[in-house]
A and B are shown apart, each in its own frame.
Chain A
Amino acid sequence: MAKVENAYRVSKMSWKKDFKHNWGVYVMFLPIFLFMVVLHYIPMFGIVMAFQDFNINLGYFKSPFVGLNNFVELFSGADFPRAIGNTIILAVLKCTIGFVMPIIFALLLSLLRSKKYKRTIQTCSYMPNFVAAVIVCFLVQQFVKQDGPITLLLHNLLGVDNMNLLADPNPPTFWIIYLVMGIWQGIGWGSIMYVAAISTVSGDLHEAAAIDGASRMQRIFKITLPCIKPTVMMMFVLGIGTSFAGGYDNILLLYMPTTYPVADTIYTYTYRNAFGAGVSPDYALSAASGLFQSIVGTILLMGSNYLSKKASGSSLF
């Protein structure tokens, strides 16, 4: 029994004894430790370059510090504030319309009476999740190009000009395309959480309400939705927290210089300044905009988590 540890003995164990018994555990932690130090923690210190006039030949230690100049440069130009504006708009669309669509779909599925139909429809709806970003963007280009199926549909129904909609630099077009693309990719896959939550709602509640004469619509709003509220809140927190940071890489495949005014986001701005083709890389500026995005993302995640804890008692951390 000498080797067996348990919770209450560990707290009393001396460090020496702990290492003697658990060195194997620590050795197994070593790979992920090195991985995280090299690829997450060292880059965190690498953000000093956001405050430097960074030169890749001089490195972190020799590049001169310039204080907040990079940020001043970012915010005094026209491009970065524009990118912030677009990021906010796309994030808000994603967290509102994009967020409720999977919930509505899950509710619709729960109203289907036949389990076989339900399964088939679910399988179909998952498919877009497995289509690669490159392909999704190609599909979008194909469907909204001049004479593309969606362009023609909108042209005939709403009188929209028959043109390549992706090349339209006027405000709502690109945002709508991006939102619809996100919904198309995520509606089935995003509904899994809610379908599972709905299936755990007790049948007794539904039965009692039905006996008392509640219609199915009433039961959805009075029983199902309140019951899945914790799940919804949790996903909402996660959605807000990640809305600012991730998921904008697709735009790199969809935008073009003429649509930068509506399509450029912080993420694409960061990418373009560091790795864009045909541009001399400005790593410091790019790091500064990346840092700005990271900070806002972290604040959003912590903030929405805190609010959700206050409001409903459910939280992510």
Chain B
Amino acid sequence: MALFKDRKKDVDRVSTMIEHPGFGDRVVDVVVILLCLLVAFCSVIPMWHVLMSSFSDGRLLMGTEGLIVWPVGGFNLDGYVHLFKNSSIIDGYTNTLFYTVTQVALGFLIAAMGGYAISRQTRLKTPMILFLTATMLFGGGMVPVYMVINALGWVETPLALIIPGCTNGMFCVMMMNAFNAVPGEMYEAARIDGAGHFRTMWRVMLPQAMNLGSVIILNSVVGAWNAWLPASIYVPQSRHLWPLQLVINQIINENKDFLNTGNPDYSKYLIQFAATIAASAPLIILFPFFQDKLEKGVLGGGVKG
């Protein structure tokens, strides 16, 4: 009867027990494992190639073809030394950190308040929901948005990078669903005890809704850290405002020309690889810790609005 006990936990184990897998099944197993390993391999190997290239010797690396699976010509950190001598990368880090924190904090506050508002029973509930869903269906496009931001005087200022992308209708609807799932008694108890709407939301409802809330926050963090397009549209001239990704892109592009100088320093060839690692490392190191939460977010995002 152990068979039935395990059923809910592991479907495949049950069927294996019944089937007594034959030769054909074993072949399927091997093929499946090989294909899965192939996907995992392909997912990881490009970054590995860059990581190992960044530790290589510049001159030897230039002459090496194909995949780099181990540092060429011994381990060295010249690329990173060059990279961090460049002050713009430090600016890039601070800017990105600043934009990410402010953008995510502001966006989440707005989305939480909006989501709370459309989850309450008010006479304007339906119009408010429609108001938000309409924005998910149709947008004016990037040029009219640029015109508005230009008219507000935000072009070439950090505001253009923080405010426009901080939240969206989808986040509000997700927060609405999260607040709807909080037991009504908690809300009523808080209200009867005399808490205002904001205090009810912040102190009573939000802690209950933080499962989905933290997902929104994590997704916003990933989006904000990796963003480059808004900066290239709104602050193309102000290099001191550029986020990390745009700085990296610039470094990679400028680096292509270093061979044309009189006596090229081959270790400069490594800068682009070091830059790539420097830009990606924070998220790649952190994401496995939040993997479960982020996975839930993908599922939560599919909830009917």
Q: Which residues of A are at the interface with B, using a C-beta cutoff of 8 A?
A: 1, 3-7, 10-11, 13, 15, 18, 22, 24-29, 31-33, 35-36, 38-47, 49, 56, 60, 105, 108-113, 115, 117-118, 120-121, 123-128, 130-135, 138-139, 142-143, 147-149, 152, 184, 187-189, 192-193, 196, 201, 203-204, 206-207, 210-211, 215-217, 219, 231, 234-235, 249, 252-253, 270-271, 274-275, 277, 283, 286-287, 290-291, 293-294, 298, 301-302, 316-317
- From B11-19, B76-84, B209-217, B258-266, the one touching the partner chain is B11-19
| Nearest A-chain residue to B21, judged by Cβ | A216
Are A192 and B295 within 8 A (Cβ)?
yes
Q: Which residues of A contact B66 (CB under 8 A)?
A: 147-149, 152
List 20 A-B pairs, Cβ < 8 Å: A3-B191, A5-B121, A6-B121, A25-B120, A26-B124, A28-B113, A28-B114, A29-B128, A35-B110, A56-B147, A108-B36, A111-B12, A124-B41, A132-B228, A132-B279, A134-B246, A193-B302, A298-B138, A317-B133, A317-B304
Contact with A along B285-296 (1 / 0, CB 8 A): 001100100010
Q: Does B145 contact A (CB under 8 A)?
A: yes
Q: Does B270 contact A (CB under 8 A)?
A: no
Are A44 and B139 within 8 A (Cβ)?
yes
Are B226 and A47 within 8 A (Cβ)?
no
Residues from 200 to 216 in B contacting A, C-beta threshold 8 Å: 201
Q: Which residues of B contact A31 (CB under 8 A)?
A: 109-110, 113-114
Q: Given A43-B140, A298-B138, are A206 and B131 also a contact pair (CB < 8 Å)?
A: no
**Bound complex: CA A184 to CA B43 (Å):** 7
**Bound complex: CA A187 to CA B123 (Å):** 44
**Bound complex: CA A75 to CA B128 (Å):** 38
Are A207 and B299 within 8 A (Cβ)?
no
Are B113 and A29 within 8 A (Cβ)?
yes
Not counting A316-B305, A317-B304, a sample of 12 additional A-B residue pairs whose C-beta atoms are within 8 angstroms of each other reads A5-B122, A24-B197, A28-B116, A31-B113, A38-B148, A40-B135, A123-B288, A126-B287, A187-B39, A207-B7, A210-B19, A290-B140
Q: Given A249-B229, A287-B144, are A29 and B39 also a contact pair (CB < 8 Å)?
A: no
Interface of A is mostly: helix
Q: Which residues of B contact A234 (CB under 8 A)?
A: 302
Q: Which residues of A contact B279 (CB under 8 A)?
A: 132, 134-135
Contact with A along B107-145 (1 / 0, CB 8 A): 001110110111011111000100111010111111111
Are A113 and B29 within 8 A (Cβ)?
yes
Are A274 and B143 within 8 A (Cβ)?
yes
Q: Which residues of B contact A133 (CB under 8 A)?
A: 226, 228-229, 245
**Nearest Cβ distance between residue A307 and chain B, in whole angstroms?**
16
Are B8 and A203 within 8 A (Cβ)?
yes
Contact with A along B24-38 (1 / 0, CB 8 A): 110011001101110
Q: Does B167 contact A (CB under 8 A)?
A: yes
Q: Does B47 contact A (CB under 8 A)?
A: yes
Nearest 5 pairs between A and B by C-beta?
Answer: A290-B141, A46-B144, A24-B197, A43-B140, A32-B114
Are B164 and A39 within 8 A (Cβ)?
yes
